Structure 1
Amino acid sequence: MVVAYFLLPLDLLGPRRPVLSWLLFALLLTAVAALLLRQIRHVLLERPDTRPGVVITLLIVLSVHVFSAAYYALAKQPDEFTGLRTRVDALYFTVVTLATVGYGDITPRGQAARVVTVLQITYSFVFLTAAATALAQRMRDVVVRRTERDRSG
């Protein structure tokens, strides 16, 4: 996934193709959110045939890359970001925002950049927190079942 992020032709997005850029961003983010909700549902229903540990982890990483790509494309527009010039910068800013650290070396200046940053924070609170909570619950259930099985057997 990381390799794909660095190889995708993201320079074709941004101010050169704003409609395509926003459409791809919305579609990818919606798809990742739907897949996360599906995994959360599987955990809540205790479906034994699923592997939420792998899938949820991959979806969280994918969501980070979707936001990174959006930031990188937005940074091609003048005055949207200060300090964001490369894909590494975009990935760094996404992780710093996700971790709510905010060092201040990269800042969203334009309205579109600020909207996407607010969207990332909200998305993280809603979807990624719910997914991480469901994953932790699943892991806790597995440990409890194994402990009970070891005690009885």
Structure 2
Amino acid sequence: MTSGPSQELRPRRRRVRFLLLGVVRPLLTVALLVAAYYVLPVGQRLDGGGMALLIGGLALVALLVVWEVRNILRSTYPLLQGVQALALVVPLFLLVFADVYHVLAVTQPGSFTAVLTKTDALYFVVTVFATVGFGDIAAVTATARILVTLQMVGDLIVVGLVLRVIVTAVQRRRDQGRS
């Protein structure tokens, strides 16, 4: 038996598909989310508009988790879809809080120990998520502390529950593919 060109290309196509779906697409997703964070205008007030931003953003994250789990359960490549889901859900969750912190810092100066630019807010949200807490930025006002506490609880939910749901969906789909 001789191997034809199409048989030789199959492993190469798989590697390319893996690279695109498993690496390029998640990196592009994160890059687009971060770009949107910097480019899109935010609300001017934290009262009704800011709280709507937070609640709407968190609702969007929850809906995306459900959507991504459904995609994983239908996917030919569930592991790659799971990576994509995490590349969408985790950064979006963090960017929602970064946006709210930035709006709070602008509309209510003194809420944090430092003036928060968008980059500073993103840095702060990641240090809270990573539980590093360097201490260079801290919440000062009750509103800021409540929001940071909500983020910390949300971080635990994202790391514990959302990660577990996505991993379980990937495992379930892979098991279905073997049957």
Which TM class, normalised by the smaller chain length? 0.7 to 0.9
Q: Does 1:54 align with 2:84?
A: yes
Q: Provide the rounded CA distance (Å) in 2 between the counterparts of 1:93 and 1:110.
A: 15
Letter in 2 for 1:116: L
Uncovered stretches (5+) of structure 2, i.e. residues with no partner: 1-32
**Aligned partner of 1:117: which letter?**
V
- Determine helix, strand or coil for the equivalent of 2:74: coil
Number of the residue aligned with 2:119? 88
Q: Is the 8 A contact 2:104 2:111 kept in 1?
A: yes
RMSD: 2.7
1:8 partnered with 2:8: no
Q: 2:97 matched to which residue of 1?
A: 67
Write out the 4+ residue segments of structure 1 that deviate beyond 3 Å after TM superposition. 37-40, 134-146
Q: Cα deviation per residue 1:31-85 (whole Å; 9 max; x = unaligned)? A: 2123325545x49xx8233633212320111111100000000111122111142
* Aligned residue number for residue 63 of structure 2: 34
Structure 1, 113-122 or 124-133: larger mean CA deviation: 124-133
- Once the 2 structures are TM-superposed, how far is the Cα of residue 13 of structure 1 from its aligned partner? 2.2
Distance 1:102 1:110 in 2: 17
Identity %: 27
Match of residue 101 from structure 1 = 132
2-structure distance, mates of 1:87, 1:138:
34
Structure-2-length-normalised TM-score: 0.67
Of 109-118 and 126-135, deviating more is 126-135
- Bigger Rg over Cα: 2
SS of the residue 2:54 aligns to:
helix
Deviation at 1:30, TM superposition (A): 1.8
The alpha carbon displacement at 1:133 in A equals 2.6
Counterpart position of 1:110: 141
After superposition, give the CA deviation of every residue in 1:4-49 in whole Å (9 maximum; x if it has no partner).
1111112x4235xx21111121111122123325545x49xx8233
Any conservation in 2 of the 1:33–1:127 contact (CA below 8 Å)?
no
